[in-house]
Amino acid sequence: MNKTDLIDKVASQMEATKADATRAVEAVIDAIVVGVKDDEKVTIAGFGTFVKRKRAARLGVNPITKEKIKIKPSKTCAFRAAPALKDVL
C-alpha cells in the first residue's frame, strides 16, 4: 500500500472527499515527522512508536575497492510496533 492507497481507504472509511482525506493523512504524517525531528517519542496507541535514533561513527569497507572508509554519525527514525498490531499480524 502506498500513500495514495492509504488516502483512498481513509476517504472511504470517513465517507469524506479525497481532498479531505489527503489533508488528514498529510497532517498525521507531518505531526509524526515534527515530533520525531524534535526528539519526541511519538506513540500511537494500538499502532506503535516512532523514535529518533543516533548511529555512531564507524569504519566501513568499500565493497569494490576493499578500502576502509569512515562513516559519519547519523540519525534515523525507528518504529516499534505495538502489541495490538503484532497480535493482528
Dump pLDDT digits (tens) for 11-34: 999 999 999 999 999 999 999 999
> What cell was used for 62?
568499500
Determine the Cα–Cα distance for residues 47 and 55; give it in Å rounded to an integer: 25
- Report pLDDT digits (tens) over 57-82: 999 999 999 999 999 999 999 999 99
Query: Is residue 51 a contact partner of residue 36, using CB atoms and an 8 Å limit?
Result: yes
The whole model's pTM is what? 0.78
Task: Pull the grid cell for residue 84.
Answer: 495490538
For residue 54, what pLDDT band results from cuts at 50, 70 and 90?
A: very high
Rounded-to-integer distance, Cα 33 and Cα 75, Å:
13
**Domain boundary assignment for the chain:** 1-39, 41-89
41-89 is classed CATH 4.10.520.10: yes
CA 50 – CA 82 distance, rounded (Å):
11
